[in-house]
Each structure stands twice: as structure tokens, then as C-alpha cells.
Amino acid sequence: MDEKSAFDVQPQQVPSQQTQSQQGYCQPPININIQNTNTNTNTNPAARGTQVSPKKRKVALLLAIFLGAFGVHRFYVGKVGTGIIWLFTAGLCGIGWLIDVIKIATGTFRDGAGRIIQNW
């Protein structure tokens, strides 16, 4: 059997295993980020530096209670666009009027510039 058959397996030479330092490979250092990314905010407008509206909350509340269906309180605080909507829809059928009264009474209602109406 001088001829080689297709099924003859020739031993192959296995390359020698080298360490990482011999191959020129170096593992990068591990960096652990331990920074605090706290995003909590204070909800107190005075502590946050939020501007307070020069409009009086008592006036806005009285206007909202007695003339809220006509949007007079919204005109007073500078929300003219929604004041017109309140005027033609009777305070959004009374639902918007009621929400405005509650927001003004609790001190979360804002004027046209986004400032909280907080002064009594």
C-alpha cells in the first residue's frame, strides 16, 4: 500500500500554548464607578427657589368660586387662552371649574408664567 488513501489521517502539529503576556495581550484594569446619581428634588417651592406669583391666592379663590364658570380667575392669573375656553364651555361643564377651585385652595395652581400662586 504505497498509495495514500483519502482516509489516512496525518498527524498535525499542535502549536504550543503561550501565556497572555507572551502573546502581547494585557488585560485592561477594571474601573468601578461608585458615584451617587441622586435625582431627588424638594417639592417645597420656597426651598427650590421657585418663583411665587405676585397674584393673591385669596382673590383667585374668590373669583374661581363665584365666577369660575366664566373663567374670570384664569384671566386674573394671566391664563387668557384657557380663560376664553372656560368662558365658552362654562368651565368645561363644571369639571374644570371644580378642579381649579381645589388647586387654588390647596396652593398648587399656577399663573400664566408658571409661578405658583401662594400669597394669601
Answer whether residue 16 is part of any domain: no
Answer whether residue 72 is part of any domain: yes
Answer whether residue 4 is part of any domain: no
Total domains present in the chain? 1
Answer whether residue 22 is part of any domain: no
Q: Dump pLDDT digits (tens) for 4-46.
A: 555 565 656 555 555 555 566 677 788 777 777 777 776 665 5
The whole domain housing 83 covers 50-106
Q: Dump pLDDT digits (tens) for 34-88.
A: 777 777 776 665 555 668 889 999 999 999 999 999 999 999 999 999 999 999 9
DSSP the chain: --SPPTT--PPPPPPPP--HHHHT--PPPP--------------HHHHT--B-SSBHHHHHHHHHHHGGGTHHHHHHT-HHHHHHHHHHHHHHTHHHHHHHHHHHHT--B-TTS-B--B-
Question: What global pTM score does this model have?
Answer: 0.58
Answer whether residue 113 is part of any domain: no
